[in-house]
Amino acid sequence: MNNLRCTQCGAVGLEPGFAEDSGQNSRGFVRWIAGPLERGPLGNAKRMGRPRWQIDAYRCPNCAHLELFAAQPG
């Protein structure tokens, strides 16, 4: 456990975890990418040259609210 506080109910001690991406050609985890979503000619998101950040997810054991943090470049 940790000292993170839930922004919904105020409980302390959020449970660490991660958000999974199981889409085609995915790496199994979600990343945060800076800037607005721009799509290429085939409908894919343009990501070239943009920093990617690992998303850390924490679940409140009291109300199940999820808190997401873009913690570090990944």
The model's pLDDT over 23-49, given as tens digits with 9 standing for 90+, comes to 777 777 788 888 888 898 988 888 888
Average pLDDT over residues 8-21: 92
Whether 65 is covered by a domain: the verdict is yes
According to DSSP, residue 48 is labeled T
Count CB neighbours of 58 within 10 A.
Answer: 19
Print the domain residue range for 10.
Answer: 1-33+51-74
Is it the case that residue 7 has pLDDT exceeding 90? yes
Whether 59 is covered by a domain: the verdict is yes
The residue among 54, 49, 66 whose CA lies nearest residue 28 is: 54
d(CA 26, CA 71): 20
Whether 11 is covered by a domain: the verdict is yes
pLDDT classification of 61: cutoffs 50, 70, 90: very high
Where are the alpha helices (H) located in the chain, listed in sequence order? none
pTM for this prediction: 0.72
d(CA 33, CA 28): 16
Note the pLDDT of residue 73: 67
What is the number of domains present in the chain? Answer: 1
